[in-house]
Structure 1
Amino acid sequence: MASLQAIKYTRGRLDVLDQLRLPHEHHYDEVSTCEEAFDCIRAMRVRGAPAIAIVAALALAVELDRGACKATGVDETVAYIDARLDYLKESRPTAVDLTNAIHHLKAAVRAPSQETTSAAPAPSPAAAVIDTFILSAEAILARDLQTNLSIGEHGAMWLAQQHGASASKPISVLTHCNTGSLATSGHGTALGIIRTLRSNDLLKHAFCTETRPYNQGSRLTSFELVFEGIPATLITDSMAAALFRLKKTEMSIGAVIVGADRVVRNGDTANKIGTYQLAVLARHHGVKFVVAAPTTSVDLETETGDGIQIEERKREELTQISGAVVGADGRVDVANTARVAIADQRINVWNPAFDVTPAALIDAIVTEKGTVVKNAEGKFDFKTVMPERWAQIVEKQ
């Protein structure tokens, strides 16, 4: 069965699946301006680090394709693009994919002759800049799917080697938040590894956390797992320790697999809140802890997790919840939604969206270019999978 599609794009039009309406309703929002993309990202109608970068890039591409930029000179056109990208960057500052995409796009429009494929007659210099941006944004979308498939293959292979997994000896895994087709252009990162394990007959069972307070696991990951017929069980975030203690041997639980919003140079990883505690529990119970991250999520400029900016979300995410009403007959009434209080509305709230898992608790970081494990000194070394960026950023320091 085909995976879900969070982003639909053709030249000049972008439609984004409203994930706040899942799992009960499929509705796509047309996104044609940077303001609409900012709101879509900020409100978390689209989420997942790769998908955020893709939506931001393509939204500006659509805006440019529809003639929003009135500049006639190259410098003015580049300045317009820079300003719009800087605006989009503020929508989710923790997700480094967005920052990396912005750096890439800014560099691309400063060398339009390297990207433009338009046939004669040659476009005006300003039009060539716009054409370059659109082609570069579309390339980000195209590369993401192949990246996810590669991560799935590398991750599944590494886990199979670690556990001696086979069709007669499959393993079970736990995943946190949502890292599948809904968070990417397709297949997914951490969930992509689970999909590949399943397709290779190496997966016994998948467990997913609900991922409070925004419930991306219960709303989205469980939906994807059911949609694709993958054997799976939903647990609350607070059940992970009991799961490892009581079910590890019975269910052959071999790994926790998570995605990443940012991996810094030493391997410290920012991901959805609750990831850090899973890493602690996994280490205590002898379960491998694996981060699935495209190289676009790796930040070589930031040395440790202490340098990661952690976004804080609004208090109502903890004190209120909304959803479709369930009738007395047990049926879900999609047309009838309600927002209810689940805590005293006067209570103080601290609601960080992410936490940072220390590299010491991570066993492997899987990228599209290979699996990175600790070297003889017990440190992650990204030089082997990112030699050019390593030379440009680290060795020049």
Structure 2
Amino acid sequence: MRYIDEYRDGALARAIAVTIAREAVPDRRYQFMEFCGGHTHAISRYGIEDLLPANIQMVHGPGCPVCVLPVGRIDDAIRMAMRPEVTLCTYADLLRVPASGDTSLLKARAAGADIRMVYSTLDAIRLAEAEPDREVVFFAIGFETTTPPTAIAIRQARKKRLTNFSVFCNHVLTPPAIRAILDSPEVPGLGRVRVDGFVGPAHVSTVIGTLPYDSVAAEFEKPVVIAGFEPLDVVQAILMLVRQMNEGRHDVENQYIRAVTAQGNLIAQREIAEIFEVRASFEWRGLGELPASALRFRESYADLDAERRFVIETIPAADNPACECATILRGLKKPAQCKLFGTLCSPETPMGPCMVSPEGACAAHWTYGRFRDKAKIDAEKAIA
């Protein structure tokens, strides 16, 4: 299959890995964060870490939109869904994410809430048209990648004059999260995550382009390489990061030239800017309150804002204290270092969102790496 098989050539991947091992300075340590959960799954699925020399370590980042959504916002959605007049529409991976009080959207549905799984924003629009007596709320989450479809749905609702449709907006922004990772304080007992460079997100960058990363790379002097999701994309991006470090550079480079441009998708950006504006701050699981890191409705579209329609005031809620999702999202721990991983926490009985979401690091390790030798984890601890 064109543009798939070419990027999964095992022999070529091993050849690039040999080049990486040859160019990596033996007495130097390289620690790169793959921001996106899609890259985490690619690294686990194709065993990319096994191809790398011991002095190159990959760190999982917070690029899983379901994972970074705080408990309080899921509680908000459940409270909305429990209203007798509301039909809440959401994507499948949100249904099983644990909320407060040992509940979830799935459990709320079992208790009688009208919560329906949809495949797209336009499914929610069609539902609002078909059931005009119901208040249909779309639970919108995601980074810049999924924001344009939400904007399209809002435009459709306005065009169709749907008065029973609204959106609970939880769209978040990538560059502020990268900045927060680099500028984060030390965590007692865990220290501070070391990041020498980033494998930048692919899908997000098709929308925003490469330019928004320039200021982060320059300010923190960390290289960023935007990469596709195939194994050859990832190993080539790692080689590019190694070369930048060796040469003392901190540029934004684009490995994913077949899909990403410097300017990004200007049409999608205009759609987003027409409807949304940046929030003053927003809470992220694992990262806390981050300034200018999420979107909200502009005043001209306030009638379609579920937060205003239902007067939502988020009540902060703590994560399960035994769950390590927050530290995993910050790159301070790996999934197998969580005491719950593979015991109390599994895809059948998830204790945190990182095991629920298809982009979660714990789900990736469970699916592709749970049988790996514990000695590898011990070796990583020794290097750290």
The two structures have a TM-score, normalised by structure 2, of 0.33
Q: Which has the higher contact order (CA 8 A, sep 6+)?
A: 2
The two structures have a TM-score, normalised by structure 1, of 0.32
